[in-house]
Amino acid sequence: GGLRPALGDVEGNPGLLYVQYSRNRNVEGAAFCWLVGCYSLLIVLGAAGNSLVVCAVVRKRAMRTARNLFIVNLAVSDLLLCLVTMPLTLMEILTKYWPLGREPVVCKMLGTLQATSIFVSTMSITAIALDRYHVIVYPTRESLKKVGAAAILSLIWLLSLVLASPMFVWRSLDQHELNLPGLQYVSYCVEKWPVAHGRAYYSAFSLVFQYLLPIITVTIAYSRICRKLRYRISYVFYAASTRARKGKDDRRMRRTNALLYSIALIFCVSWLPLNIFNLVVDVWNPFSGSQAMLVTYAVCHMMGMSSACSNPLLYGWLNDNFRKEFLEIAAALCPCAPAAQAAVRERVGSLRSSLAGRGRRGG
């Protein structure tokens, strides 16, 4: 909403309004094709990956655990990022005006939905980290039940709506009558804050609640988890006193540590550029050209949205249960695919192991 030039000084002059309109958001040539291609790739990959996560839990009752509810909630919020936030942001970058009609409520609701989905995504990542911290660091405490998980998820959505509510309150639709052939009016969905530098204040607020607090929480939680796992594996080694067992547990611990630190690092790298860009531009805009600012914003925005593509990999594919479900879904959709054949082999291997175990117990 804050990417258009001010039109107050030409209000009421159709000729000057048209000149300002024609210069607005001038992305063309290679930059236009590049933006469309990159956004389309992110949308397709993110929508496919997060849809697989949701389907994996919906299709099998055993997957509907309290812990997996957090992952499904993350997938749903990331689906909103892929199907709503990214297409709308691309539309606003490439178009010279607001093309979705003259209803102000549409401008308000879509802006609120975009902000809400981002807050829900980052809060869900934080909730997953805290849940894993609770399970691993304090294993003797009572595990989270479905009712408790549902209450936490409801709180996440409610809090996200509250944090995103300024978008509904202070976004408005500016309409300018041109009455020119083929262009009767132009509309802009903009933010009109009641105080000077209000947008900068909200950017700083978002930086704290959408980025700094989650990344600090996730980093501390996963660091404590890694320390706990290191202590637990050392204790098991001394109890078992077998070098083979220690080597196997060490490899498992290294994989787990690498995964946890990768989650924190990817979260940090993905969302940092967009938060810095918003704050810098709102306080002091260093860009002299419209296209340079728009392309820079698009790159920062795509880095943030890339988390919607990496989350299904980090929380889904690298989880044994989810990976098995993904392969089974692939087998159902395309039996000839290599992933489908791998799923069949894995299913047959599991069945053989189960039958062999029964045979030993029967003997």
Could you report the per-residue pLDDT of 196-240, keeping only the tens digit for each? Answer: 888 889 999 999 999 999 999 999 999 898 888 877 655 555 555
Q: What is the pLDDT of residue 13?
A: 52
Among candidate residues 125, 72, 67, the one with its CA nearest the CA of residue 271 = 125
Neighbours of 16 (CB within 10 A): 13
pLDDT tens by residue, 118-163: 999 999 999 999 998 988 888 888 878 889 999 999 999 999 999 9
Contact 222, 261 (CB under 8 A): yes
Lowest-pLDDT choice from 34-38, 67-71, 350-354 = 350-354
Residue 10: pLDDT above 50? no
Cβ atoms within 10 A of the Cβ of 141, count?
9
From CA 84, how far away is CA 82, in angstroms rounded?
Answer: 6
Give the Cα separation of 292 and 296 in Å (integer): 6
Closest to 180 measured CA to CA, from 21, 5, 18? 18
Q: Which of 14, 168, 35, 177 is nearest to 92 (CA)?
A: 35
Q: Dmax of the chain from CA atoms?
A: 94
Angle at 187 between CA 289 and CA 280, to 5 degrees: 35
- Kindly report, residue by residue over 60-83, the tens digit of the pLDDT: 888 888 889 999 999 999 999 999
Report the predicted TM-score, pTM, of the whole model to 2 decimal places: 0.81
The token pair that represents 73 in the structure block: 């909630």
| Residue 45 vs residue 238, higher pLDDT | 45
pLDDT value at residue 73 = 94
- Ordered structural domains, the chain, with CATH: 8-318 (1.20.1070.10)
Distance of alpha carbon 243 from alpha carbon 253, whole angstroms: 15
Model confidence at 253: pLDDT above 60: yes
- Between CA 78 and CA 121 the distance in angstroms is 6
* Mean of pLDDT values over 259-280: 88
Res 143: pLDDT: 79
What pLDDT score was predicted for residue 183? 65
Q: What's the pLDDT tens digit per position in 168-192?
A: 999 988 887 766 666 677 788 888 8
